[in-house]
Structure 1
Amino acid sequence: MSPLNLASPLTPRRLKRLPLALLLAGSASWTHSYAAESEASAPVPAGKPAANSSQLETVTVTTRRREESSQDVPTPMSVVSGQNLETQRVYRIQDLQQLVPSVNVAYMHARQSSVSIRGLGNNPASDGLEGSVGLYIDNVYLGRPGMAVFDLMDIEQLEVLRGPQGTLFGKNTTAGVINISTRAPTFTPERSIETSVGEDGYFQTKGTISGPLNDQLAGRFSAYRTRSDGDIKNEYDGHDLNGGSR
């Protein structure tokens, strides 16, 4: 049978051949789709790993005052490990917005600073307004955002919880919570010291020591000092702004 050219004018003879041609084309298309679906759903033999398979590590959080997997907590959150903070060179609360979405930190100095989540926070120009984002360090509440003006040193994990958290974290957490956990003491001796030098007079030194105090008690001590001259120069008196020491 000669091939059917649908571009040519339809004649009575061609109209009789048209249903047969459409039936054959539909049958071929269905056979191709069924074969592709069967191939995609074919089981992987036992003992043979699937292609491009990857396994995510379990993230353990303490957002409900107990250790559990983040997958079991019905709260939108972002978890940043201490290793990630060190890799990204994030050492201050005001730099946290580079890693965590929907978090904004307005910092002028310790008195005029605020933390907001999803656009909800407080007015940094008024000392009488308490923040809507609770700041916790090892389950210790910080009453003002200015109390968190320090370097994030020796941090184990940082959790950002979005939404009201008043059931477990108390009042003034209507926008969310930033929960910071420091590294625990270890019975294996640890010692480290690090010095960083940068532009605008930036200089930082920090050190950590951890180890056993006796057979059943271990301790950890961390200290740092950071100073910088600032990145804005006052042309009137020649002083540098946005600098200081911690």
Structure 2
Amino acid sequence: MSVWGKLFSAVRGGVNEVAESAADTQALRILDQEIRDADTALRRARSDLAGIMATTKVLARRIEEAKAKEAKDMDSARAAMSAGREDLARGLADRISAARAEIGRDQAEHDRLQAQQGQMIRAVQDTETRIQTMRREVDGVKANESLLKAQSAIASSHAGVNSRLGSAMESLERVKKRQEMTAGRIQAGAEMQALESGSDLDRALLEAGIGGNRASSDDVFAELTRIDRTPALPGSAGQNLQIGHNRDR
């Protein structure tokens, strides 16, 4: 692959990474919005379910009342037949027939709504579970994202601190070496000064005729004279020398 091809692939890879990062960032917002939409739909579903449940109860109560009235009309119709009042029995029979038709329609509607109510209850419960699961997953992803950002920040800060500490330690070592060098120079200068001061003092002493090993010719001659004039002890080598000298004379 040519250099331009590699460069193009690298740029394309970087663009893809940026696009994926942007998509991932938007994904959390999209999920939050979907959860809010699901909550809104769930509230509407609960409201509709509450209406269906109310209608079902009304129908159940109306059916129960209609059946009670039907039973009463049947008793009345039987009594009318026993009393020979077929006309009354006929009227009650017509009313009972209409009531039964009405009860049949209400019962069918009640059964339909009750089945729908069961389906909606299951759907609402399933939706609630899914929303709770999605919310927990989104919260977990957000928490992990925050944790990763914090860890990345800490890692970057730690690396920067290590780098700064490394530079500081290097500077500290340079300062120590410079201080040691300066202290060495000061000590060497003091020693040199002491040596130079000692030499000057010895030279001054010599010039004053104090101390030192050097002796002038006058000093040596004075020393010889003192030795020659010293009286010899009896029996000493000096007396023998004097006797011999006299004999020769």
Q: What TM-score, normalized by structure 2, do the two folds share?
A: 0.20
Larger Rg: 2
Identify which of structures 1 and 2 has the higher relative contact order when contacts are C-alpha pairs closer than 8 Å and 6+ apart.
Answer: 2
Higher helix share: 2
